[in-house]
Amino acid sequence: MKKLYYSAVLYTVLGLAAGLYYRELTKAQDFTSDTQLAVVHTHLLTLGTLVFLITIGLQKTLNLTRGQFFSAFFWTYHAGLLLTTALMTVHGTLTVLGEDSGAAISGMAGLGHILLTVALVFFFLCLRHRLGRDFAATSPTGAPERTTAERTHG
């Protein structure tokens, strides 16, 4: 539970710092065009803070950290989010400074997005594992599954 709490705090601090950095850098450079820096803080606050706050709630109800795939989700998600937002920051900074970021920056940012996708797969596998019998006992509509006897007799 502490890891989840401190993760939410970390991304809150990083998100707020990213917003401040964007505002101050663009103001200092008299930059008024579009830049990826404008969305780094929202990525950190939404994909970082909010995701980990929601995960805390799931931990309280499902003991999510005991899930088979939780550790893989946790570390892959951090790597993906930090890589993605760090490279967005580099790309945005170079844009504000009037320099070209090159294909390598975009490629590595794409790798960060791939890591986030893999982490979300781990998350849903972990969630399904923790839902266990409740997940297996209901149909896709949420109604309880009928037993074999109920299906054959009525």
For residue 124, the tally of other CB atoms under 10 A from its CB is 12
Helix (H, G, I), strand (E, B) or coil at 147: coil
All residues at 6 or more sequence positions from 64 whose CB lies less than 8 Å from its CB, including other chains: 55, 58, 70, 126, 127, 130
pLDDT in tens, 53-66: 999 999 999 999 98
Indicate the average pLDDT of the chain. 89
**Given this model, what pLDDT does residue 44 score?**
98
SS (H, E, C) 30-47: CCCCCCCHHHHHHHHHHH
Domains of the chain by residue range: 2-153
pLDDT of 87 over the 70 cut: yes
pLDDT of 137 over the 90 cut: no
**CA geometry: angle 57, 58, 62, nearest 5 deg:** 130
Q: Which comes out higher in pLDDT, residue 79 or 105? A: 79
